[in-house]
Amino acid sequence: MGDVRKMIIKGRVHKFADDINTDDIIAAKYLVSTDAKELGGHCMESIRPDFLSKVKPGDIIVAGKNFGCGSSREHAPMAVKGCGVSAVLAKSFAAIFFRNAINIGLPFLELEEVNKINDGDEIEIDLTSGIIRNLTKAEDYQTQAFPEFLQDIVKNKGLINWVTSRKKEGHPSS
């Protein structure tokens, strides 16, 4: 029998538009650091100066299409995670943000109906089933489930930790 544990993320929404680029997420002047907390202290400040005063641990970013476009810096998802955001939902993601989010263990899901979710809504994401429940509006949306191996990477807080844990467990593919 397979693992039936659910991976649920619940938080308040911070809504962003289309084409949020990596410079919007974390300005280039902060790229001298690789500390997630330090980067998180500047997340989104150039496009929403009050973001950091409003974001709380566990909150969720919801955005339009092409989230994380721009340069190929891992700093962008690190800043998002570093400010306490637990997941990102977007209509679509830039390929490099997608890859870098996997590397650091930041959950992300594509959802066509992001326009139905408002800033301040409370939502619950079931990564196992792909069901997104808008608790504020009592609506459910369905997307692809977050693949099990990506859930494992998130649980291990990133790709390097996941690989290390698999080697310790003696997995031959590690």
Which residues, 6+ apart, have CB-to-CB distance to 49 below 8 Å? Answer: none
What is the amino acid identity at position 75? H
Domains delineated in the chain: 8-168 (3.20.19.10)
Local confidence band at 4 (pLDDT 50, 70, 90 cut-offs)? very low
pLDDT, the chain, mean:
89
Question: What's residue 1's pLDDT?
Answer: 37
pLDDT digits (tens, 9 = 90+) for 16-38: 999 999 999 999 999 999 899 99
Q: How far apart are CA 50 and CA 72, in angstroms?
A: 26
Local structure of residue 150 (DSSP, 8 states)? H
Residue 161: how many CB atoms within 10 A of its CB? 14
Length of the chain measured in residues: 174
Which residue, among 118, 144, 120, 121, has the nearest Cα to 131 in the 3D structure? 144
Local confidence band at 14 (pLDDT 50, 70, 90 cut-offs)? very high
Question: What's residue 132's pLDDT?
Answer: 97
Place of tokens 């939502």: 123
Q: Reduced to 3 states, what is the DSSP secondary structure of residue 67?
A: strand
Mean predicted confidence (pLDDT) in 98-121? 93
Query: Environment class of residue 42 by beta-carbon count within 10 Å: exposed (0-12), middle (13-18) or buried (19+)?
Result: buried
Helix boundaries (H) for 33-133? 36-40, 51-54, 75-82, 95-104
Q: Parallel, antiparallel, or unpaired: how do β-strands 60-63 and 122-126 relate?
A: unpaired
Question: What's residue 3's pLDDT?
Answer: 44
Q: Is the distance from CB of 61 to CB of 44 less than 8 angstroms?
A: no
pLDDT digits (tens, 9 = 90+) for 123-173: 999 998 999 999 999 999 999 987 777 777 777 776 666 667 767 777 666
Give the predicted TM-score (pTM) of the model: 0.87
Which residue, among 67, 69, 143, has the nearest Cα to 112 in the 3D structure? 143
